[in-house]
Structure 1
Amino acid sequence: MTVKTAIQHPAAGGILLLVSASFAVLMATVPSMQWFDRMWDMEAGLDIGGWSLQMSIRHWINDALMAVFFFAAGLEIKREMVAGELSSVRKSALPVMAAIGGMLLPACIYALFNGGSPETSGGWGIPMATDIAFAVGVLSLLGDRVPAGVKIFLMTLAVVDDIGAIIVLALFYPVHPVEWGYMLAAVALALVLVVLNVRNVRRKPVYIILGTVLWYLIYMSGIHATVSGVVLAMVMPSRIRVKGAEGTVETKVDCSLEERIKPLVTFLIVPLFALANAGVAFNPEVFSNGLPGVSLGIAAGLLIGKPAGIFLFSLLSVKGRLAALPSGVEWKHIAAVGVIGGIGFTMSIFINSLSFTDPAVTDIGKISVLITSVIAMAAGLAAMAAVCGKDNKPIKIKVQ
């Protein structure tokens, strides 16, 4: 197998992601190698005249490069919404409802374990999140065995979940107050982008330049800057091409930009993200004080609450005729996606860092998130492999 062939393999991105995360954990665990984690905290930035923007390398990756990741994810979702698996309201409603269930039930389960403890009750937002980078990476390990509709369902669910987590952060875990001047400017610029799209302005550089300004405004507003990637993707111009002399033979969306940035996201941005964020030193001593409620709440929320919430709300939305299963997606796939949804990882660790005042509790929460997410990765991969089979033959699961 040549290097080019290996890179083009559908699972290549997922394998690189897992290798990067494992390497980061190893470097954080070995005492003599902890310089690697500190390296990401080095300051870097831009200084042009009287204007300056300084962040740590870790924040440049998380806030800037990951905005490109969300932009790529948004382009794929929009393509499916315009001419694919999510082109009807009933189909697009399913991942939204699934994401809501996947956030509510884990939070409630965590509260059951920690509701009576003022020291730990604030961590209810930790198991609400799904790490989109790792979730998609798990699917990529299975390549074409996973139906396209399942990939889009998980991608959409994870994006909605992440937006929900960002809203939770803004409302319940404030670090800095929202700068409403920047926020209003960002909303105004987003409306300008919508108008450009409606008026059929198709020059993509115009959108990219304005999108960069939008990123800066959202970043300065105090809201997580990666939201700008999704917003920009939704307003990018798209074209539906119909082939055939008499009607619709083939319907496609112009996805040249998506195809161009996909290798950048898969082989550079996502691995860098894992290297900068996956480093957690395993130290059994952090559990010496007990506090099992934190670990139990996180583990039960991600491993039980996530799958149950995603499946239950999907079932209710379909049976209530609010949504419909996408083409090629069966209930077995929804159940497997629910297990993969338990990979909380980065956003869960971030919320964990804002939830507690006691460093010992924070360490317990961080290690619990990592261990639980690894379990969810393995279980989710096994579940999806089982339901997809070797050649994606149907395995019928009927829901009465």
Structure 2
Amino acid sequence: MSVVSTAPSARTGRRVRRRPPFPEYRQASSGSGVGLSVRGVVPVGRAESGPLWAPLAAGGWQATRPSQHGVPARDDGFVGTPASREAYASPIPSGRHGGAMAFTSRELATRRARIEHFVRPVQSFTHTEAASGIVLLLATAQALIWANSPWSDLYHDLLDHRLGFDLGFYAVSKSFHAVVNDGAMAVFFFVVGLEIKREIAVGELRTVRRLIVPLGAALGGVVVPALLFLAIAGGQASERAGWGIPIATDIAFALGVLALLGPRIGSGLKTLLLAVAIVDDIAAIVVIGVFYSSSVTLAPLAIALGMVVLALLAQQIGLWWVPLYAVFGIIAWFAVLESGIHPTIVGVVFGLITPWRAWYRAEGFTDLAAGLLDRVRRLDLAATEGEAAHERRTDALFSLSSLSFSSLSPLDRLERELHPFVAFGIVPLFALTNAGVALSGDAVSTAASSTLAWGIAVGLLLGKPVGIVLGTWVIVRVFRARLPAGVTWSSLVGLGLLGGIGFTVSLFITELAFADETLRTSAKLGILVASLASGLAGYAWLRVFTGRRPHSGIFDKS
């Protein structure tokens, strides 16, 4: 459908006929990026704007001057009736988020530009790969400093502070430390479950060929550290329960170290590290659920399973309202808490059952969005004022918003929304409440002579790289698999060393494995020393034994 409209010429004042530049699509290419665009529309920062493209500009796109269609643009890029110029009387500021300020008043645009001047550096930092690792490191340092300062009593008072509620028929009272470990970490494991689901559905674990090498590396990185720990500390019955501590990898710290190495690290090694960490997480979840849970009470467990079944049924009938699933998950969490199984398992289960498909396929979204944008454009061209016209335009924009929302799967949406909250909130809070070890002379000497601390340290620092390399070698030899493109055996050793950074989940398992504070302190010191040594060793190894040029591929195609 072709729409012809008239607009006054900026030079002659006469009304001229022109065709709007919608909806012809082309592949746009510029210094700002490459992607599908509407004819006459380019990425933010490359052109001025016109009043017809507010929906696109809000998403990071701006309209080019449409002077090629017969209507000269004003200096600020606007074309249209005097009313439309008055309504949208501000040019769009350049910058990463400039499009979000499109077509507002000049005063409001100036205010937002001032705010973004301070906000943009924070946003840029949080989008770097090393950001979450840096925040986690700062939280760990804060915990250690606080626990060894004159205000250490305040630290322990905070951990022991009781939180709870009493409904009459049901009451819960937990320390702040337990609320973080049992409650907040359930959200962490929910995001882990989302990541596992994504990798299995559309990521690097979706085919056997892609799965087999990370699976072998991860299994080797689980079995060898556990065996080394048992060989060193297995003789002590009180320490034997810590065998699960050295099996985990802290992906935030590991990716942070890789980010520090810059372009010398190719995408293949990063992808393999992510895949190995995902399989590691699966193994750790199984270990926690099976070996670190107390005696199971069946009645509460049946309630939790009922909530999972209700969630699956709601999915089948097309009810994807997230607050409903949150209610199911909260009820299941309290039920599992009473059952004797660690409640963080609920987070993993609900993450794994989250739908990964969207209501609309990509082509369906494109067609429907084009129709809605065309409706908005025609309403803007008509320049009709009044409540009825405003309602029609608002309805079209709400429909476009709903369409965009439904074109994202719940998995993608929840993972994107929760990841910053988990990476910069929950995980640092966990580190703050669990890494505060009193570094007294007695504690350090006890840990130095403890087979528990040595078993954990050797398992992480030596067992992880040996296990990852050995497991990969067995898979390559037995199944004739290939290493991911860009990954060499020497870089695999560096990846194995980074796998020895077992911080978050290792500390979590320590809290589950030991009730004695002396054993906990020795285990935590072993984790901290081994994780620090593994990070430094992995960084040094990869810096020396990897080239400066990045590799382009991820997995071999053959």
Q: Shorter-chain TM-score category? A: 0.7 to 0.9
Whether 1:50 aligns to 2:188 is no
Change (3 A) 1:258 1:114: closer
Distance 2:343 2:481 in 1: 30
Q: Which residue of the other structure, out of 405, 415, 435, is the alignment partner of 1:278?
A: 435
Distance 2:301 2:480 in 1: 33
Change (3 A) 1:43 1:358: closer
The Cα offsets for residues 242-288 of structure 1, whole Å up to 9 and x where unpaired, read as 6579xxxxxx9731222111221122112111111111111232355
The Cα offsets for residues 124-170 of structure 1, whole Å up to 9 and x where unpaired, read as 33323334554455556668856352353144133123214304533
Change (3 A) 1:66 1:322: farther
The residue number in structure 2 matching 1:380 is 538
Change (3 A) 1:104 1:131: same
Change (3 A) 1:338 1:118: same
Whether 1:320 aligns to 2:481 is no
Q: Which has the higher contact order (CA 8 A, sep 6+)?
A: 1
Letter in 2 for 1:41: D
Distance 1:262 1:351 in 2: 22
Question: Please, which moves more after superposition, 277-286 or 363-372?
Answer: 363-372
The residue number in structure 2 matching 1:153 is 275
Contact 1:303 1:372 in 2 (8 A): yes
Tell me how far 1:118 sits from its aligned partner.
4.6
The 4+ residue runs of structure 1 with deviation greater than 6 A are none
Matched position secondary structure for 1:40: helix
The residue number in structure 1 matching 2:100 is none
Identity %, equivalent residues: 36
Q: How does the TM-score come out when normalised to structure 2?
A: 0.60
Change (3 A) 1:359 1:43: closer
The residue number in structure 1 matching 2:296 is 178
Question: Please, which moves more after superposition, 17-26 or 382-391?
Answer: 382-391
Aligned residue pairs, count: 387
Change (3 A) 1:220 1:334: farther
Contact 1:197 1:235 in 2 (8 A): no
More helix by share: 1
Alignment of 1:1-400 (within 5 A): 2-118=121-237, 120-131=239-250, 134-135=253-254, 138=257, 147=267, 149-167=271-289, 169-170=291-292, 176-198=294-316, 200-239=318-357, 243=362, 254=409, 255-286=412-443, 288=445, 291-321=449-479, 331-332=489-490, 334-349=492-507, 351-352=509-510, 360-383=518-541, 392-393=550-551
Matched position secondary structure for 2:180: helix
Contact 1:131 1:345 in 2 (8 A): yes
Distance 1:33 1:190 in 2: 42
Q: How does the TM-score come out when normalised to structure 1?
A: 0.81
Tell me how far 1:20 sits from its aligned partner.
0.8
CA-atom RMSD in angstroms: 3.6
Gap regions ≥5 residues in structure 1:
246-251
Distance 2:529 2:323 in 1: 43
The Cα offsets for residues 222-254 of structure 1, whole Å up to 9 and x where unpaired, read as 222222222111111222676579xxxxxx973
The residue number in structure 1 matching 2:59 is none
Distance 1:49 1:322 in 2: 63
Letter in 1 for 2:479: R
Distance 2:351 2:238 in 1: 40
Matched position secondary structure for 1:320: helix
Question: Please, which moves more after superposition, 100-109 or 346-355?
Answer: 346-355
